[in-house]
Amino acid sequence: MAKMIDVAKLAGVSVATVSRVLMGKGKVREQTRQKVLEAIKQLNYKPNRLARNLRRLESQTVVVVIPDISNPFFTEIVLGIQEIANQHGYHVLLGNTNNDVKREIQFIEMVKEKVADGVILVTVRNPKERFLKLAQEFPIVFACEYIKGAELPMVTIDNVRSAQCVVNYLVNLGHRKIGYIGGPQQVIVSRDRLQGFIQGVIQNDIPFEPAYITEGDFGIQSGIEMATKLLQLPSPPTAIFAANDEMAIGAIKAIKNHGLSVPKDIAIVGFDNITMSTVVEPALTTISQPRRQIGQKAMELLLQLIHNPMLKREHIVLPYELVIRQSCGNPSVWSDS
Amino acid sequence: MAKMIDVAKLAGVSVATVSRVLMGKGKVREQTRQKVLEAIKQLNYKPNRLARNLRRLESQTVVVVIPDISNPFFTEIVLGIQEIANQHGYHVLLGNTNNDVKREIQFIEMVKEKVADGVILVTVRNPKERFLKLAQEFPIVFACEYIKGAELPMVTIDNVRSAQCVVNYLVNLGHRKIGYIGGPQQVIVSRDRLQGFIQGVIQNDIPFEPAYITEGDFGIQSGIEMATKLLQLPSPPTAIFAANDEMAIGAIKAIKNHGLSVPKDIAIVGFDNITMSTVVEPALTTISQPRRQIGQKAMELLLQLIHNPMLKREHIVLPYELVIRQSCGNPSVWSDS
DNA sequence: CTGTTAGCGCATTCAG
DNA sequence: CTGAATGCGCTAACAG
């Protein structure tokens, strides 16, 4: 593999000059520049990033930590991140934790090893204090999930209000008995959505019924199980709101298994708007997060943080949207005030 | 950030000794080792990989090039790759081409920049000659897609035989009028599957009907369009085989739109066995590729190639499986001889 | 068993 | 505008 010195020799200049034309800064006579460029092309030379990065003490790489690469929800975020990263000549290393709490930290430590310059966390399972300390040391941005009550760079939607919006929508459709299938309570968005659900119920003067609240694990199977549980209640709900689309899809399956119909007997609302929610029948009404945009914003924030560690930590809240399909019947436009 | 020399000073030894205990080779007295370990812990030291890699002229990173990160089919392969990579202390850089032919090459060139030590290609859009040359220069392994008639390391299933197997299955069920929705013909697996389909038709003494053969782009929408086309034929098929699950799902939608039923009126078979194929109704009968295993094998091959560039290039063919669900009716076990 | 030393390939002073 | 020299942090060859 050709090295810089080879280029220098061929062009009859010093390595410093080659470096200058490569970096595009420092004055170089146009004529010399051309000679160097010519030599580079002739040798098919590419600078060794390892060396360059060591010299500059940066790796031009960021790592994105997600809990599950095979979950389509996260891949769309990664796409947004990659878009911005590539625009700025950064590489994206994908960190898959498989929901392993330890690996979350391991990936962050890659910054210490200089494998990466910063981290975007799309999963937050470790205790708050830990992150507060780590965020002090390294450039870290949180996307989708976040830390409550902390001054850290985060990009999310308002999970509380969006869940509340769903309840309003359902009530507006005439529902008074609304079941809820929540996500694992360790996850902050699960807690937020549950809170939003409860607020919605209360604000609509619906009697609070604890039996209507169940907890799944974000998988299809748990949606089936929790919906079944709700269906077996003495007075089953007429609508079910699941904290993500997979569980909502599971709920639809369960309802069909019971010989009931969606939305005629029971309305269903999901959360996240994954592709699968357009395939299921009936197509799922759901909350859509601007995933691509979340990824982009998170990466932009990280870039700023890397180049200016003293940056003010801001929490960016992006707008969500209720996508109305067929799973609540009555397809129509609707806007929460 | 603490450096090796800091550790050395604190432990009262030389950097060489620190390096030795880090690398785990070269004799070090147990007592000295403990001192070093202690110092490392105390300083919370992590070796700078940039420096280590520059010194060893390797990056301990591989790049995986896929056409579309949001396609669940590919993410499962990536999972298999990551598994093996992590076991060997390698990082995985994900390269998303978005089907851009140029980016395919750009990612391979990262090896030249020493950003990566090798490449796994899960997409092959560039001309064969190009890859033959690149494969000479860099450690490259092909997964799922491949180059025909070349001695290169590849991991795939037998796409021809698997498609043929589907036809046999359908014929066995009594179908004689079988429609086909193929993938883009630039993609080798599309050509293989089409070939397998045609071979299956011929070997079963079914009159060859060109109008039954259509071409989509692997998306749901194109499945809808092509199925609609088949349905409008004077003598429409009684079974449709789509070259991937997305198109098969599209076909199911189209058939339902026409007021027909799957599988009663028309049987459907897909290819790939993505999660969505269990959600659609009726659940899709499809060919399952051992994606995880393909990823693992590809990574193992690449590792060998990196450490021994003179390695014999072998094409590994993994077994496929026909997963029988409800989209052809008549759920049953079946084995192609 | 341990220390000294020479680069890995490049960017960047500092002279000229 | 250009070249010589220095060192980023670490590993490995060599010497002791």
Model confidence over B41-60: pLDDT tens digits?
999 999 999 999 999 999 99
In a domain, residue A324? The reply is no
Are B183 and B139 found together in one domain?
no
Are A168 and A283 found together in one domain?
yes
**B175 closest CA partner among B196, B197, B201, B198:** B201
Q: pLDDT-based confidence at B335, cuts 50/70/90?
A: low
CA distance B74 to B53: 29
Are A177 and A281 found together in one domain?
yes
Are B20 and B72 found together in one domain?
no
In a domain, residue A328? The reply is no
Rounded to the nearest angstrom, the minimum Cα separation between B207 and chain A is: 34
Q: pLDDT-based confidence at A334, cuts 50/70/90?
A: low
The domain that contains A14 carries what CATH number? 1.10.260.40
Residue A237's pLDDT is 97
| Number of separate domains in chain A | 3
Q: pLDDT-based confidence at A292, cuts 50/70/90?
A: very high
Residue B334's pLDDT is 61
Pairwise CB contact (< 8 Å): B279 & A275: no
What tens digit of pLDDT does each residue of B234-262 get? 999 999 999 999 999 999 999 999 999 99
Are B126 and B177 found together in one domain?
no
Pairwise CB contact (< 8 Å): B279 & A280: yes
Residue of B4, B7, B50, B281 to mutate, testing the A interface (most A Cβ within 10 Å of its Cβ): B50
Q: pLDDT-based confidence at B9, cuts 50/70/90?
A: very high
In a domain, residue B220? The reply is yes
Pairwise CB contact (< 8 Å): B75 & A69: yes
CA distance A304 to A153: 10
Whether the per-residue pLDDT at B63 is higher than 60: the answer is yes
Q: Work out the average pLDDT over A179-199.
A: 96
The domain that contains B197 carries what CATH number? 3.40.50.2300
Are A110 and A140 found together in one domain?
yes
Residue of B115, B245, B284 to mutate, testing the A interface (most A Cβ within 10 Å of its Cβ): B115
Are A117 and A144 found together in one domain?
yes
Say if residues B163 and B196 touch (Cβ distance below 8 Å). Answer: yes
Instruction: Name which residue leads in pLDDT, B175 or A26.
Output: B175
B164 CB neighbours strand C below 7 A? no
Residue A333's pLDDT is 59
Least confident of A156-160, B225-229, B278-282: B278-282
Rounded to the nearest angstrom, the minimum Cα separation between B205 and chain A is: 36
In a domain, residue B214? The reply is yes
In a domain, residue B324? The reply is no
What tens digit of pLDDT does each residue of A295-321 get? 999 999 999 999 988 888 889 999 999
Whether the per-residue pLDDT at B78 is higher than 80: the answer is yes
CA-CA-CA-CA dihedral for A184, A186, A191, A194, to nearest 10: 20
Are B215 and B232 found together in one domain?
yes
What tens digit of pLDDT does each residue of B122-164 get? 999 888 888 999 998 899 999 999 998 888 999 999 999 999 9
What tens digit of pLDDT does each residue of B196-220 get? 999 999 999 999 999 999 999 999 9
The amino acid that residue A16 corresponds to is A
Say if residues B156 and B191 touch (Cβ distance below 8 Å). Answer: no
Reported as half-sphere exposure (CB side, CA atoms, 13 A), residue B31 has a value of 1
Whether the per-residue pLDDT at B333 is higher than 80: the answer is no
Nearest chain B residue to A253 by CA distance is B279
In a domain, residue B118? The reply is yes
Are B262 and B296 found together in one domain?
no
Whether the per-residue pLDDT at A337 is higher than 60: the answer is no
Are B174 and B272 found together in one domain?
yes
What tens digit of pLDDT does each residue of A248-288 get? 999 999 999 999 999 999 999 999 999 999 999 999 999 99
Residue B120's pLDDT is 97
Are B152 and B67 found together in one domain?
yes
CA distance B281 to A281: 8
**B200 closest CA partner among B187, B213, B211:** B213
By C-alpha to C1' distance, C5 is nearest to B16
Q: Work out the average pLDDT over A68-92.
A: 91
CA distance B75 to A157: 26
Residue A152's pLDDT is 92
Pairwise CB contact (< 8 Å): B50 & A46: no
Domain enclosing residue A149, as ranges: 57-157+291-318
* Nucleotide D14 C1' to residue B40 CA (A): 26
Q: pLDDT-based confidence at B313, cuts 50/70/90?
A: confident
B29 CB neighbours strand C below 7 A? yes
Whether the per-residue pLDDT at B263 is higher than 60: the answer is yes
Enumerate the residues of chain A whose CB falls inside 8 A of the CB of residue B109.
Answer: 46
Spatial neighbors of A253 by CB under 8 A, at least 6 apart, are: A220, A223, A224, A227
In a domain, residue A261? The reply is yes
Which burial class, exposed, middle or buried, applies to A18 when counting CB atoms under 10 A from its CB (0-12, 13-18, 19+)?
Answer: buried
CA distance B1 to B3: 6
Q: Which nucleotides of D are covered by protein (CB under 7 A)?
A: 1-5, 7-13
In a domain, residue B234? The reply is yes
Instruction: Name which residue leads in pLDDT, A26 or A314.
Output: A314
SS3 of B270, please?
A: strand
Encoded tokens for B83:
């598994």
Whether the per-residue pLDDT at B40 is higher than 70: the answer is yes
Pairwise CB contact (< 8 Å): A115 & B78: no
Are A141 and A23 found together in one domain?
no
Percent of chain B scoring above 90 in pLDDT: 81
Say if residues A75 and A143 touch (Cβ distance below 8 Å). Answer: no
- From residues 7-66 of A, list those within 7 angstroms of strand C by Cβ: 15-16, 19-20, 22-23, 25-26, 47-48, 50-52, 54-56
Nearest chain B residue to A109 by CA distance is B46
B174 CB neighbours strand C below 7 A? no
Other C-beta atoms closer than 10 Å to the C-beta of A72 total 22
Mean pLDDT of chain B: 93
Say if residues A241 and A197 touch (Cβ distance below 8 Å). Answer: yes
Whether the per-residue pLDDT at B99 is higher than 80: the answer is yes
Mean pLDDT of chain A: 93
Enumerate the residues of chain A whose CB falls inside 8 A of the CB of residue B46.
Answer: 109, 112-113
Q: pLDDT-based confidence at A336, cuts 50/70/90?
A: low
CA distance B30 to B14: 15
